[in-house]
Amino acid sequence: MWKKLSKQEINEAVFSALRQNRHYKHEHVLGIPVSHLDDKVFYDNFEMLKDAPFLSTMVDNPNHIGCHTLGESEAFFAGTQAIERELVAMCAEDIFKGDEGEFDGYVSSGGTETNIQAVWIFRNLFNREFGAKNEEIAVICSDDTHYSGAKSANLLNVNYITVPVDQETRKIDVKILHQTVAEAKARGIKYFAGIVNMMTTMFGSVDNPQDYIDAFQANDVKFHLHVDAAFGGFMYPFSNNNNPVNFQNPYITSIGMDAHKMAQAPFGTGIFLIRKDYMQYALTEEAQYVSGMDMTLVGSRSGANAISVWMILKTYGYYGWTEKINMLLYRTNWLCKKLDQLGVEYYRDEHSNLVTMKSKFIPTELAQKYALVPESHTKENKWYKIVVMDHVSIDALNLFLEELEQSLAQTDEGVLV
């Protein structure tokens, strides 16, 4: 498991990496259409930046275009690319239990890109290896899946199939899943990209990959599984270490996680992880000017993003991160106990920091005041969620609960009319 580093060790590692990059100012870099941040606008005072490795990387502005865990990469930014490689390995091996050196990956713009990247790779693999036509391919996932699953199917011109979940347990209805796959097969769909959720956006529910594997095998169809851990990737593996959603499961081909959610990194820090020998299916051979070519969806991207996530993980260390997650769980348990006392009904996975309350208990004004997020802004809304993050302290939760208690006391049966 990765170790915690001191501030000084982190500074040294990042500044040493920056020195290994080609520097736009101190060297003659004539051929690339990128530069350091504009110093008429952005502060580049050496004294101020010398203890600020992330800001220094922002100002230096290395471009991490491409994927750096395989083949060649742009030599200009080799120093910070090496840090990104280490980050990918920490996530694939320490968090998701993959074997050492067996994974590729990169820092994407976020969970949306990560999901599209996975479906893109699977679609091209089905096309190339089996001669599959796009109409014979489907993305399949639960109704609670993030809408980027639908985006990916739309962009990649493949079918999109969803499976209902139980409204109370948020579990996939396994019988309907089997039927749905059988019906799709009868319509000529023979190749499936299954999206397994590790914490859905609205409920924090976690799918069982075996449900999909059973349904695909029973129907004798080809498939690959991608785990959408955009929300849960920096939470669930720590709060429920024995869960079955990881690379020990040979059917899980790729996993995506967002550092800009639970890990409090800047936006633009999705992390895409995939077994070796799959990235090539997203190779764009026309990308001739990029050394090592490009196997990512995004193209140019900031090297500072990778540095930020690496710094966060190294500041805590694996066990320090586990402690931080446990503090969030402690607060969430506290919140749930209070909701139980008030008789407010909610959904929560016991290892999650997300509590989704039935809207009939929550006055609209209170939801607005405390910025609770509704399940739907357009249809009739049935749920409001609280996400227990670093800034969501017990004191803050308590203010909300006191007001909630008052408004429930004014109603007949603890339910708003």
Ligand X SMILES: *Cc1c(COP(=O)(O)O)cnc(C)c1O
Helix H or strand E segment including 385: strand 383-387
Whichever of 235 and 404 has its CB closer to ligand X, that residue is: 235
Q: Quickly tell me which residue has 């999206």 as its tokens.
A: 195
Whichever of 110 and 374 has its CB closer to ligand X, that residue is: 110
Name the segment binding ligand X (CB under 6 A); options: 38-46, 131-139, 225-233, 383-391.
225-233
x-or-dash pattern for ligand X, window 270-309, by CB under 6 A? x---------------------------------------
Residue 37: Cβ-neighbour burial (10 angstroms; 0-12, 13-18, 19+): middle
Taking CB under 6 A as the rule, does residue 349 contact ligand X?
no
Residue type, 4: K
Taking CB under 6 A as the rule, does residue 231 contact ligand X?
yes
x-or-dash pattern for ligand X, window 113-152, by CB under 6 A? ---------------------------------x-x----
Taking CB under 6 A as the rule, does residue 268 contact ligand X?
no
Residue 89 near residue 313, CB atoms below 8 Å: no
Whichever of 112 and 159 has its CB closer to ligand X, that residue is: 112
> Least Å distance between CB 296 and ligand X?
15
Residue list 236-265, contact with ligand X (CB under 6 A): 258
> Tokens representing 387?
């996400």
Q: Quickly tell me which residue has 């004798």 as its tokens.
A: 220
> Least Å distance between CB 119 and ligand X?
12
**Distance, CA of 351 to CA of 80 (rounded, Å):** 35
Whichever of 132 and 328 has its CB closer to ligand X, that residue is: 328
Taking CB under 6 A as the rule, does residue 228 contact ligand X?
yes
Whichever of 221 and 325 has its CB closer to ligand X, that residue is: 325
Residue 59 near residue 44, CB atoms below 8 Å: yes
Closest CA to 139 of 75, 234, 223, 24: 223
Collapsing DSSP to helix, strand or coil, 39 comes out as coil
> Tokens representing 171?
């579990």
Collapsing DSSP to helix, strand or coil, 406 comes out as helix
> Tokens representing 26?
């101190």
Site residues (vs ligand X, CB under 6 A)? 110-112, 146, 148, 200-201, 228, 230-231, 258, 270
